[in-house]
């Protein structure tokens, strides 16, 4: 091998090593793909009021079964006019202006209206059903307001919805510089909805996934609520190191001791901190994410059970099957055949 080839090989090996690094957020979105549905443009005229009520979580759907969309979150962007947003758990109504965008986790109730005292007459599901060509109209004929809205969902079965990991409500104001890319995405999404050109559905789905990640990025960059839950754990130097290690190598035989070592903490301090931030023990998180990855692999249908088992850290298919049934509620064969109807406790 000549000197030039040797240099190229070393460079390729270096690039390969760099690409192996995987952060938890990337891993989650690669594993749990997000898709959009119910996209529409709301043309409202004063007086008007629309509510989004709390809804029960949907069940996990088995592989091979076409399940109804499982809401992950709802999003809306005010593209024209002004309105007021009332959010469950927030005392005062929030004034919105053109360009403001928010993402609402499933299970949180809101009201959008032309004024803080206007009572809602419709809900978002009714508005979506009223849409003609993805455009819905409501109101009394006064001052106009245009809102681009829709829902995001998983297109794969999931044990723990991302909504359990994220804040229930994220608001991005139009005057924040970090939201420029986000607004461009929403405008592109609105354009696809309005034109309905060939391939619009596919483009809208991809844009919805990009939108969700951009909202998450903007929220992280703002520093607001970073002190809560999974996001705080990801960006905590010690907890983040442990989570990154798990997501980079789910097949590693992790123990509380080895994870604590990765975080540079004592075993007891690490376990307590992990439980405080994520609401579960470290190895419970590891096992749950192993099963989530296994569900993704099983859906491919061309994987041998032992290969799936080893990919997620089990030396035998028997040990893997036992863990899978304990977490998912069905053995791998039942899951693949689609005979499992899902459990309602996730």
This prediction has a pTM of 0.68
Beta strand 34-45 pairing with 144-154: antiparallel
Angstrom distances, CA of residue 19 to CA of 13, 222, 252: 10, 27, 18
261 and 299 fall within a common domain:
yes
CA distance 252 to 93: 48
- Buried-state track 210-247, b at ≥16 Cβ within 10 A, e below 16: bbbbbbbebbbebeebbeebbbbbbebebbbebbbbbb
248 and 332 fall within a common domain:
yes
40 and 141 fall within a common domain:
yes
CA distance 22 to 317: 26
Q: What is the pLDDT of residue 162?
A: 56
Q: Containing domain of residue 303, as a range?
A: 230-337
220 and 238 fall within a common domain:
no
82 and 98 fall within a common domain:
yes
Contact residues for 199 (Cβ-Cβ < 8 A; gap 6+)? none
Peptide bond into 205 cis (omega under 30): no
Residue pair 98/148 in contact (Cβ under 8 Å)? The answer is: no
14 occurs within a structural domain: no
79 and 184 fall within a common domain:
yes
31 occurs within a structural domain: yes
Give the CATH number for residue 64. Answer: 2.60.120.10
1 occurs within a structural domain: no
- Residue 36 backbone dihedrals phi, psi, to 5 degrees: -110, 150
| Residue after which a domain boundary falls, among 195, 225, 255 | 225
The residue to which tokens 């061309």 are assigned:
302
Burial of 48 (0-12, 13-18, 19+ CB in 10 A): buried
Residue 228, token pair as written in the block: 């809560």
Q: What is the pLDDT of residue 281?
A: 95
Q: What is the pLDDT of residue 54?
A: 65
128 occurs within a structural domain: yes
Based on the structure, what is the number of domains in the chain?
2
| Residue after which a domain boundary falls, among 173, 193, 225 | 225
* pLDDT per residue of the chain (346 residues) written in tens, 0 to 9: 555 544 544 444 433 444 446 778 788 777 776 677 777 789 999 999 999 876 544 333 333 333 344 556 788 888 889 999 999 889 999 999 988 888 887 778 899 999 999 999 998 878 877 777 778 899 999 999 999 888 877 655 566 655 566 677 888 887 776 667 777 887 787 777 667 788 887 887 788 778 777 877 777 767 665 545 777 788 788 999 999 999 999 999 999 999 999 999 999 999 999 999 888 899 999 999 999 899 889 988 788 999 999 999 999 999 999 999 999 889 999 988 874 444 333 2
256 occurs within a structural domain: yes
| Residue after which a domain boundary falls, among 191, 225, 259 | 225
127 and 255 fall within a common domain:
no
In the chain, what is the straight-line distance between the N-terminal and C-terminal CA atoms, in Å?
56
CA distance 97 to 174: 8
Q: What is the pLDDT of residue 33?
A: 66
CA distance 90 to 229: 19
Pick the closest to residue 94 from 75, 76, 74, 110 (CA basis).
110
158 and 245 fall within a common domain:
no
Contact residues for 55 (Cβ-Cβ < 8 A; gap 6+)? 71, 106, 107
251 and 214 fall within a common domain:
no
Give the CATH number for residue 295. Answer: 1.10.10.60
3-state secondary structure the chain: CCHHHHHHHHHHHHHHHHHHCCCHHHHHHHHCCEEEEEEEEEEEECCCEEEECCCCCCCCCCCCCCCCCEEEEEEEEEEECEEEEEECCCCCCEEEECCCEEEEECCCCEEEECCCCCCCCEEHHHHHHHCECCEEEEECCCCEEEEEEEEEEECCCCCCCHHHCCCCEEEECCCCHHHHHHHHHHHHHHHHHHHCCCCHHHHHHHHHHHHHHHHHHHHHHHCCCCCCHHHHHHHCHHHHHHHHHHHHCCCCCCCHHHHHHHHCCCHHHHHHHHHHHHCCCHHHHHHHHHHHHHHHHHCCCCCCHHHHHHHCCCCCHHHHHHHHHHHHCCCHHHHHHCCCCCCCCC
The residue to which tokens 């034109």 are assigned:
195
Residue 284, token pair as written in the block: 């419970």
53 and 189 fall within a common domain:
yes
Residue pair 136/127 in contact (Cβ under 8 Å)? The answer is: yes
């Amino acid at each position: 091998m000549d000197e030039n080839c040797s240099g190229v090989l070393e460079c390729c090996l270096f690039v390969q090593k760099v690409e192996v690094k995987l952060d938890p957020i990337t891993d989650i979105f690669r594993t749990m793909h997000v898709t959009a549905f119910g996209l529409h443009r709301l043309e409202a005229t004063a007086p008007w009021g629309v509510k989004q009520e709390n809804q029960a979580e949907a069940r996990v759907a088995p592989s091979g079964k076409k399940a109804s969309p499982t809401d992950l979150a709802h999003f809306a962007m005010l593209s024209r006019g002004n309105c007021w947003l009332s959010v469950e758990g927030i005392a005062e109504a929030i004034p919105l202006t053109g360009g403001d965008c928010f993402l609402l986790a499933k299970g949180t109730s809101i009201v959008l209206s032309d004024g803080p005292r206007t009572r809602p007459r419709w809900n978002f599901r009714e508005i979506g059903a009223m849409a003609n060509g993805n455009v819905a109209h409501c109101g009394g004929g006064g001052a106009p307001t245009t809102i681009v809205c829709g829902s995001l969902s998983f297109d794969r079965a999931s044990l723990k919805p991302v909504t359990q990991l994220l804040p229930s409500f994220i608001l991005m104001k139009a005057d924040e510089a970090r939201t420029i890319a986000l607004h461009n995405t929403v405008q592109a999404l609105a354009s696809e909805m309005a034109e309905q050109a060939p391939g619009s559905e596919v483009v809208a789905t991809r844009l919805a996934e990009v939108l969700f990640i951009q909202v998450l990025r903007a929220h992280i960059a703002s520093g607001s609520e970073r002190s809560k839950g999974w996001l705080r754990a990801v960006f905590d130097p010690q907890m983040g190191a442990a989570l990154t290690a798990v997501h980079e190598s789910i097949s590693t035989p992790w123990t509380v001791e080895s994870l604590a070592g990765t975080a540079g903490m004592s075993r007891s301090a690490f376990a307590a901190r992990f439980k405080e931030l994520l609401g579960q023990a470290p190895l419970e998180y590891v096992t749950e994410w192993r099963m989530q990855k296994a569900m993704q692999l099983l859906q491919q249908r061309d994987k041998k059970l032992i290969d799936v088992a080893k990919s997620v850290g089990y030396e035998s298919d028997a040990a893997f099957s036992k863990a899978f049934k304990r977490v998912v509620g069905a053995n791998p064969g039942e899951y693949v055949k689609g005979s499992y109807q899902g459990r309602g406790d996730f």
